[in-house]
Structure 1
Amino acid sequence: MQIKELLIEAKEKDASDLHLNVGIPPVLRINGKLIRLNLPELTPEITHEMIYSILSEKQKADFEKYGELDLSYELINISRFRVNIFKHRRGEGAAFRLIPEKIKTLSELGLPSILSDFTEKDRGLVLLTGPTGSGKSTTLAALIDIINKNRYDNIITIE
């Protein structure tokens, strides 16, 4: 079982996430539902091997030191992923969030057009908050895309 194959399958099945946890098969989140793949349960050794196959030496050292690591990962010509790697009582685990190639518009996201008013401000602080998976980064990308298409300003984001 290779991590690249699992990430390609996640992309092909239009999953938003791939979860790797010891003791269960790999899991895809598709339309908000967790679906176990028809594969063997992940062992600590297999999970470790898959996770470490995508890490640099520095990332490995940081993960071993802190027990957690956030990074971005790209499969060239396939997709980009936001990755959280962690340790838990059964071993190591990872969550891969697929980053969409195309930035959706506010209307495609089903958001009110009044949100675009924030893109017309000359200065200020905008806080976009919510639980994991609620669409904060997706909404922010749509707003920044509007700014980038209409202005030449410096934009700073902190996540």
Structure 2
Amino acid sequence: MKKEKIYNKIIRIIREMYKIQTPVIKNVKEILIKKGYTVNYSGTMSSYSSSYQLSHSTGEEHKILIPFLSKERENMLLAEALFEIETGMQDHAECKNLARRLMIPTKEFLQQVDKNESEGHRINISKIAAYFYVDESSVIARGRELGIFDIL
């Protein structure tokens, strides 16, 4: 429970720092660029890669290099980079965890699960992913974290 409070506080601070007013973030790249960061695409990085490269230049400027990806996957990868930049955390698992919490807030996620659940208790993951502008694997991971998708 203590860890949960810390995560929630970090998310709240990031939302304030980046002036994120809405629960759903459509374009993380745009938010990073407004903050002065550079996002570049690399043709040499595999599109199957789930990683990014950060380079720190003079001052506060960070350059983020990512592979060519779907917009949804790009959003998650850039959210992970955002947490590495702002927290200094180099534990990618923790950055992914925080990125999912930022991109898929609990309250809105639970509403979308209810909205997209059929009578047979099947949940349309694709619709939830589209709603949050993230990839399906992130939705599944978030559902597992919350104990909703134990079967998947």
TM-score by length of 2: 0.31
Query: Does 1 or 2 have the higher relative contact order (CA < 8 Å, sep 6+)?
Result: 2
Tell me which protein shows more helix as a share of its residues.
2
TM-score by length of 1: 0.31
Higher gyration radius (CA): 1
